[in-house]
Structure 1
Amino acid sequence: MARIPAPVAAVRTAVRRSLTGLPSGGTVLVACSGGPDSLALAAATAFVAPRSGLRPGLVTVDHRLQEGSTARADAVATWARSAGCHPVEAVSVDVGGLPGGPEAAARSARYAALQASAARWSAVAVLLGHTRDDQAETVLLALARGAGPRGLSGMPRRRGVFLRPLLDVSRAQTHKACSALGLPTWADPHNADPAFARTRVRGGALPALVEALGPAVVDNLARTATQLAADNAVLDELAARARETAETADVRPGAPAPALSVPVLAGLAPAVRTRLLHAWARGLGAPGGDLSHRHVDALDALITDWHGQGVTALPGGIGVVRRDGVLLAEYL
């Protein structure tokens, strides 16, 4: 029996572990652009899923931002069918008018299309091809933004229907797996465009760190994300329990949520209190992308630095005031 190349085995093992526990007979969709990471993931899923009692499928999203993108999406879909994937979809999206820059708009459109495909095919999971290198880059970008523990925890292994099986697999391994299997990979020119911060980190900042500190820095950054994700899960649970205690029966007409008891909040550890306030603000309807640390700090000041402040404005047209020992929210 021919020996399986080590990179191919590494990707298959990661996929097998990720699929453990999914409902037998369910469909798993791979989000595949045709690049080495997602193509290695798709090939491994096509091999592993049937042996795990699951049906492999594939979705490729055509953002229509580059010449020839539709033909490339069709080629990926054709390969997927030949590899035994079903269902297979090539979905076109329109990124025009979406908020953020081109990269953010494309990401929003892509995830919306993937969620729609998952719903259409009743998929039990959508697999994403982010690798350990992508995770290290995410941590560096979060550090540059001054992100807290949540941002530094990087990309989660699972969020809703989305799974990331390759967060312990290097980009070099996915490239070698594709070469070993003779897969027709495609190099996205956006990945070499210095206009994007991630590209500058990938091509400059991270290699400089590797040169200065050694190759283990990539693993260490990714490991830091894993450790912080575990810590975040505990802190989130503590904040959720504390919120149940802090919420009062005071629900004013037109208020978006119950009030919060200031004395209860004041007795919490800062890490728990600020998480509680962040989750409460999200629950009020403040958009997560616009809700920053300065908004949470302003809410926290209503508890820890109270000197008669007026309304604290949150994104989404929401105001919060302190009155009679509680924090009250109202629509502005």
Structure 2
Amino acid sequence: MTGVRLPETEAVLAVRRGVRQWVAARGGRGPVVVGLSGGADSLALVAASVVEAGAVTAVVVDHQLQEGSAAVAARAAEQARALGCVEAVVVPVTVGRAGGVEAAARAARYAALAAVRAGRPVLLGHTLDDQAETVLLGLARGSGGRSIQGMAAWNAPWGRPLLGVRRARTVAMCADLGIEPWHDPHNTDPRYTRVRVREEVLPLLEQVLGGGVAQALGRTADQLREDGAVLDALALELVARARDRTPTSTGDRAASAGPFGPDGPGDSGADDNSRATISIEILATAPPALRRRAVRAWLTDLGITGLMNAHLQAIDELVSNWRGQGPVAVGGGTRAQRLVVTRERGTLAVRAQPRI
């Protein structure tokens, strides 16, 4: 299908410009997947992408959390076809409860999109307003600069072309096209913290500070992300220098046991053992902020994610303020064992311990 002819209204041009700039930054047109909820943001993204990006496949993830969700998903797919998508598919998912409904639905949605993308980038309809909300929520959690870097325009395979576009523009674009978007009741439910930030906090900040708050928060996220990229590169250099690659002695740990003990994950021999230890002497000479970032990178390389600032602070104490304290649990492991970071013989090491 050729899609609708887009009018040259202010809103349409703003959304198209966002997509065009994103496509140009990624090297030009090509087939893409667009995650479509049926809301104004994703519908506007679909319409602009058909014109600016190339062959578009719309994927509607039906979370099956609300009565009538199948009908909502089918209608969104129909709208996508009318807008000129080469394909529009509905993917039903089962949402678990781990981490709360919001987090579980997000995990199910991203997994579904990843499963059907077939090597293509996946475009998501996050706007500047979403970015501002994310930065504010990260700031409130107080978990460091990484949490207020917001969302990246490109974090393979996820693309976000509308991070410079206000939500009001996508709503206006749908009106200009004569498209009726779906209004998710969750997006106005004050039981969700993000909704209260959207409906109460950001408007108040705009009023008190005289406008421009969302744009300022977006610029802050961009600047922090650029700074973070430099620090991440320096942290990886520190990890490379600090890895303990000395031969394992009999009295220390068995090289054949793997980095997490005889039954833990990553059981692949001496090379993994060297990856699971890191020199305290090298770490101790680095600035604290870089040291903590290096520890995070080291643990991420070992498959340990979801680290909180409290984890990193406690591990840093093993390096910089050693008082004989015990190991720091970092999550993961098996039902019988937990993973910990411990100080042993001049190194930090990841080990598996029996759960008590």
| Shorter-chain TM-score tier | over 0.9
Deviations 1:189-239 (A, max 9, x none): 100001111001011111111111121111111111111011111110110
Secondary structure, in 3 states, of the residue corresponding to 1:43? helix
CA contact (8 A) 2:149 2:221 kept: yes
Moved more, 310-319 or 110-119: 310-319
Task: Please say if 1:322 is aligned against 2:333.
Answer: no
Task: Please say if 1:133 is aligned against 2:113.
Answer: no
Moved more, 23-32 or 82-91: 23-32
Q: Distance in 1 between matches of 2:202 and 2:81?
A: 37
1:192 counterpart residue number: 188
1:312 counterpart residue number: 328
Secondary structure, in 3 states, of the residue corresponding to 2:295? helix
Task: Please say if 1:46 is aligned against 2:50.
Answer: yes
Unmatched 5+ stretches in structure 2 = 1-5, 249-254, 261-274, 333-337
Task: Please say if 1:292 is aligned against 2:308.
Answer: yes
2:203 counterpart residue number: 207
Aligned-partner residue type, residue 146 of structure 1? G
1:36 counterpart residue number: 40
Secondary structure, in 3 states, of the residue corresponding to 2:117? helix
2:106 counterpart residue number: 107
Q: 1:225 aligns with which of 221, 224, 244?
A: 221
Deviations 1:236-291 (A, max 9, x none): 01101111011121464321433111111011111111011112222333331xx2
CA contact (8 A) 2:137 2:194 kept: yes
Q: TM-score, normalised by structure 2?
A: 0.86
CA contact (8 A) 1:15 1:44 kept: yes
Aligned-partner residue type, residue 111 of structure 1? Y
Aligned-partner residue type, residue 125 of structure 2? G
Moved more, 265-274 or 319-328: 319-328
Q: Distance in 2 between matches of 1:58 and 1:295?
A: 40
Deviations 1:48-77 (A, max 9, x none): 12xxxx311111111111122111111111
Task: Give the length in aligned residue pairs.
Answer: 322
Q: 2:291 aligns with which of 269, 273, 276?
A: 273
Q: Considering only CA atoms, is the larger Rg found in Structure 1 or Structure 2? A: 2
Higher relative contact order (CA 8 A, sep 6+): 1
Q: TM-score, normalised by structure 1?
A: 0.92
Q: Distance in 2 between matches of 1:269 and 1:329?
A: 22
Question: Cα–Cα, structure 1 residues 3 and 30, in superposed 2: closer, same or farther, change >3 Å?
Answer: closer
Q: Cα RMSD between the aligned structures?
A: 1.8
Q: Distance in 1 between matches of 2:25 and 2:163?
A: 18
Within 5 Å, give how 1:162-201 maps onto structure 2. 162-201=158-197
CA contact (8 A) 2:23 2:29 kept: no
Q: Distance in 1 between matches of 2:123 and 2:135?
A: 21
1:249 counterpart residue number: 245
2:265 counterpart residue number: none
CA contact (8 A) 1:249 1:258 kept: no
CA contact (8 A) 1:254 1:330 kept: no
Task: Please say if 1:262 is aligned against 2:280.
Answer: yes
Q: Distance in 2 between matches of 1:26 and 1:180?
A: 26
Question: Cα–Cα, structure 1 residues 22 and 155, in superposed 2: closer, same or farther, change >3 Å?
Answer: closer
Unmatched 5+ stretches in structure 1 = none
Question: Which contiguous aligned blocks of 4+ residues in structure 1 show a shift greater than 4 angstroms?
Answer: 21-25
1:9 counterpart residue number: 13
Aligned-partner residue type, residue 135 of structure 1? Q
Question: Cα–Cα, structure 1 residues 117 and 23, in superposed 2: closer, same or farther, change >3 Å?
Answer: farther
- Structure 1 residue 156: Cα displacement: 1.4
2:268 counterpart residue number: none
Percent identity between the two aligned chains: 46
CA contact (8 A) 1:141 1:198 kept: yes
